[in-house]
Chains A and B, each alone.
Chain A
């Protein structure tokens, strides 16, 4: 009799444990799912000197010190409807861009290191122009400069005028006697401050800031610029093999089997 009782109490304990584990699993799955949904957008534009997005979300304690420090009210903390990690700072350049304060008050106020002053320091001096909040991307279809109408609003708004945005002169074939003056972004220089997006005169901006990781492609290390002496040196160091084997391209051309019916 006693043995039976012991058994049942052990069974009861096991049941309780299993139920507890199940509840933890339920809570964890639901919580994790909701939390991950709230992380969402990779399209968020962060303040200057921010760590990479995944690291940034980890590091930011969501205190809003950068928001308070910003003299232009550029920054805001994300609320649940902003489709980005709740409580983290971001800005929308079309509404208020970053004016690239030379003393970077937002970065200096950050207690956690999520905004890393090292990223905008050069030779022990602050250089806000080193910030990489994003890059400007032009929509050539809606940008009226590409239509041949004269507009250089973004070029003139750019704090690095002539460096981050240049003007390229093309012949206007439609009229035969005018120039098309195209804005061209230099992605190496562009800080992503968004003054261009803010200044753009089209109804919906034709030049927008995108996060660097979203906007930039990647050629892969097996493409080498043979005309660039420095880049050509990589031939000796690069380890990555081309996706196509040396003789498979030839084999492909010589393979006539599949052309014939059985």
Chain B
């Protein structure tokens, strides 16, 4: 029992954080708590300061709206936080859609869907173009273009304020990930993930690989939502320092040889360590 918890400690921790954040939002809407009022687009924390989605604010900026200082400061706080802990920590520790896409990925592994030969291939770099497109379209359409179609927005607003037909969009993302493309949405298309990949490029919290302990079991490759970032694993001791790493810690969970762990990047000796 203890071993099961130990083997899944980051997964359990992450799910708890994700659910607690949703709970905080729901509770402030339903029962008037004041921990986090609003939603993931923008929220007032502890009735004292604002937080805002930096990518949404960037789109608003592109749409030509003079964004209020509350939102700009809120977006900078969030941006700074993720720049330190790893941009895509949002994806694996906060984003509620992650729970669904990871479930889809888990089902794919269990059902053996990853080994079928008819999988389509799409470059993961396409998400950066989607991000650029989101900003261009915001400029052309004169409103935040991604926010209107975002399945993340529909899911989190749905959980807090009620779904409407939003569940259909969320379900389609789940099914897309399940039967069409492995890590389809989060790993290929999500412009918010692309934005945070760039924002967290130089994050302080990183996963470190120690090749001396590695037994080439490939467990980490099987569970990693972004396996291309593990290029040095089994080869040399190094930081997994790609911006695309979501710092989910799942690789650390499944590693039976203590070859992976979270470290704080030493900013001064950065070059030596790599």
Would you call B133 and A61 a contact (CB within 8 A)?
no
Inter-chain CA distance A68–B30, complex, in Å, is 8
Would you call B64 and A58 a contact (CB within 8 A)?
yes
Inter-chain CA distance A78–B164, complex, in Å, is 8
Q: Using A31-B137, A58-B142, A86-B148 as known contacts, say yes or no to A111 and B52 having CB atoms under 8 A apart.
A: yes
Asked if B193 CB lies within 8 Å of chain A CBs, one says no
Would you call A63 and B169 a contact (CB within 8 A)?
no
- Chain A interface size range: 35 or more
Give the size of the chain B interface in residues (CB under 8 angstroms). Answer: 51
Contact of A112 among B68, B157, B158 (CB under 8 A): B68
* A110-131 residues at the B interface, CB under 8 angstroms: 111-113
- Annotate B69-107 by CB proximity to A: 1 below 8 A, 0 otherwise: 011001000000000000000000000000000000000
Smallest CB separation, B145 vs chain A (Å): 6
Asked if B160 CB lies within 8 Å of chain A CBs, one says yes
Would you call A64 and B29 a contact (CB within 8 A)?
yes
Asked if B262 CB lies within 8 Å of chain A CBs, one says no
Would you call B44 and A64 a contact (CB within 8 A)?
no
Contact of A35 among B149, B157, B161, B169 (CB under 8 A): B149
Inter-chain CA distance A68–B65, complex, in Å, is 24
Asked if B225 CB lies within 8 Å of chain A CBs, one says no
Contact of A111 among B74, B133, B136, B140 (CB under 8 A): B74
Inter-chain CA distance A80–B136, complex, in Å, is 23
Q: Using A28-B133, A61-B52 as known contacts, say yes or no to A87 and B157 having CB atoms under 8 A apart.
A: yes
Smallest CB separation, A124 vs chain B (Å): 20
Smallest CB separation, A115 vs chain B (Å): 11
* A1-31 residues at the B interface, CB under 8 angstroms: 20, 23-24, 27-28, 31
3 nearest CB pairs, A to B = A79-B164, A63-B42, A63-B38
- Annotate B111-155 by CB proximity to A: 1 below 8 A, 0 otherwise: 000000000000000000110110011001111110111000110
Would you call B161 and A55 a contact (CB within 8 A)?
no
Asked if B43 CB lies within 8 Å of chain A CBs, one says yes
Would you call B162 and A34 a contact (CB within 8 A)?
no
What are 23 contact pairs spanning A and B, CB under 8 A? A20-B129, A31-B149, A35-B141, A58-B65, A58-B142, A58-B144, A59-B65, A61-B42, A61-B52, A61-B57, A61-B147, A64-B39, A64-B157, A65-B42, A68-B37, A76-B161, A76-B162, A77-B162, A86-B154, A87-B153, A87-B154, A112-B42, A112-B68
Residues of B that sit less than 8 Å from A by CB: 28-29, 37-39, 41-44, 50, 52-53, 56-57, 60, 63-65, 67-68, 70-71, 74, 129-130, 132-133, 136-137, 140-145, 147-149, 153-154, 157-158, 160-166, 168-169
17 new A-B contacts at CB < 8 Å, known A79-B154, A86-B149: A23-B129, A24-B132, A27-B130, A58-B142, A61-B41, A62-B147, A62-B157, A76-B161, A77-B161, A80-B168, A80-B169, A86-B147, A86-B153, A111-B38, A111-B44, A112-B60, A112-B67
Would you call B145 and A31 a contact (CB within 8 A)?
yes
What residues of chain A lie closer than 8 Å to B39, measured between beta carbons? 62-64
What residues of chain B lie closer than 8 Å to A55, measured between beta carbons? 65
What residues of chain B lie closer than 8 Å to A32, measured between beta carbons? 137, 140-141, 145
Q: Using A31-B149, A34-B149, A68-B37 as known contacts, say yes or no to A24 and B60 having CB atoms under 8 A apart.
A: no
Asked if A189 CB lies within 8 Å of chain B CBs, one says no
Inter-chain CA distance A77–B166, complex, in Å, is 12
Residues of A that sit less than 8 Å from B by CB: 20, 23-24, 27-28, 31-32, 34-36, 38-39, 54-55, 57-59, 61-65, 67-68, 76-82, 85-87, 109, 111-113
CB closest residue in chain B, given A78: B164
Would you call A65 and B60 a contact (CB within 8 A)?
no
Smallest CB separation, A15 vs chain B (Å): 16
Would you call A39 and B50 a contact (CB within 8 A)?
no
Smallest CB separation, A156 vs chain B (Å): 32
Inter-chain CA distance A36–B44, complex, in Å, is 30
What residues of chain A lie closer than 8 Å to B74, measured between beta carbons? 111
Inter-chain CA distance A35–B63, complex, in Å, is 14
What residues of chain B lie closer than 8 Å to A64, measured between beta carbons? 29, 38-39, 157, 160-161
Inter-chain CA distance A77–B132, complex, in Å, is 27
Inter-chain CA distance A78–B140, complex, in Å, is 23
What residues of chain A lie closer than 8 Å to B60, measured between beta carbons? 58-59, 61, 112
